[in-house]
Structure 1
Amino acid sequence: MSKTEDAIKTLVEVYLKSAKGKENLGPKDFQKLVEKKLHNIMMDTDNATAVAEMRKGLDDNQDGKVSFQEYMTLMGYLAISLSDHVTSTMGAPSTEQKQDKKEEAE
């Protein structure tokens, strides 16, 4: 299995384990998931009020729970934020560097 496949599998497994066989994550289950699994890449994961506000922001259908689709919205946001951080830390490749890589690939 590729790293990409492993990552997707892990996303699904974490959600399913956190949901404990239910279709959605309730407030307590979402709080635990954020505290235990996302504390290294998010701030205020131990702040119940901040996590509740995040859950409300994700809760498109306003049912008080986080569905898998809503969870994936959070994962997408985190992935984009992490990518932006890594890119800014490393410095975005210049147009010349991109062209050099393209020529090397050909």
Structure 2
Amino acid sequence: MSITDLQKGMATLITVFHKYSGKEGDKTTLSKGELKELLSTELGDILGKSSDKAALDKIFKDLDANADGTVDFQEYITLVACITMLCNEFFTGKK
């Protein structure tokens, strides 16, 4: 049985999260610094190479739904889903 494209995508989402989580502490969450590195490295082409601290602070605050000072896997997946929806709207011309 071969792995499907969707299963590959899910595995990639998990792998990318864990590539950055735990560099500054808890392996199950992203700190603000880890999130910044993930966004600039993995999504830089989409988000632009913004070094705007205020923009990063807002993204982090909005993502940190439970206000614990970190971004957990569920909060990370929410970000990826939102960006994916925006990309789909851009490429299909729907707004």
Same fold (TM over 0.5): yes
Which structure's CA Rg is the greater one?
1
2:61, 2:77 → 1: CA distance? 15
**Higher strand proportion, which one?**
2
Find the partner of 2:67 among 62, 86, 90.
62
2:44, 2:51 → 1: CA distance? 8
Q: Residue 50 of structure 1 aligns with which residue? A: 55
- TM-score, normalised by the number of residues in structure 2: 0.84
1:44, 1:56 → 2: CA distance? 19
Q: What SS does the aligned partner of 1:11 have?
A: helix
Q: How many corresponding residue pairs?
A: 89
Q: 1:35 aligned to 2:35? A: no
CA-atom RMSD in angstroms = 1.7
Structure number with the bigger relative contact order (C-alpha 8 A, sep ≥ 6) is 2
Structure 1, gaps ≥5 residues long: 92-106
Q: Is the 8 A contact 1:38 1:45 kept in 2?
A: no
Structure 1 outlier segments of 4+, above 6 Å:
none
1:35-54 Cα shifts (integer Å, max 9, x gaps):
11111111354333312210
Q: What SS does the aligned partner of 2:30 have?
A: coil
Find the partner of 1:16 among 6, 18, 40.
18
Structure 2, gaps ≥5 residues long: none
1:49, 1:37 → 2: CA distance? 20
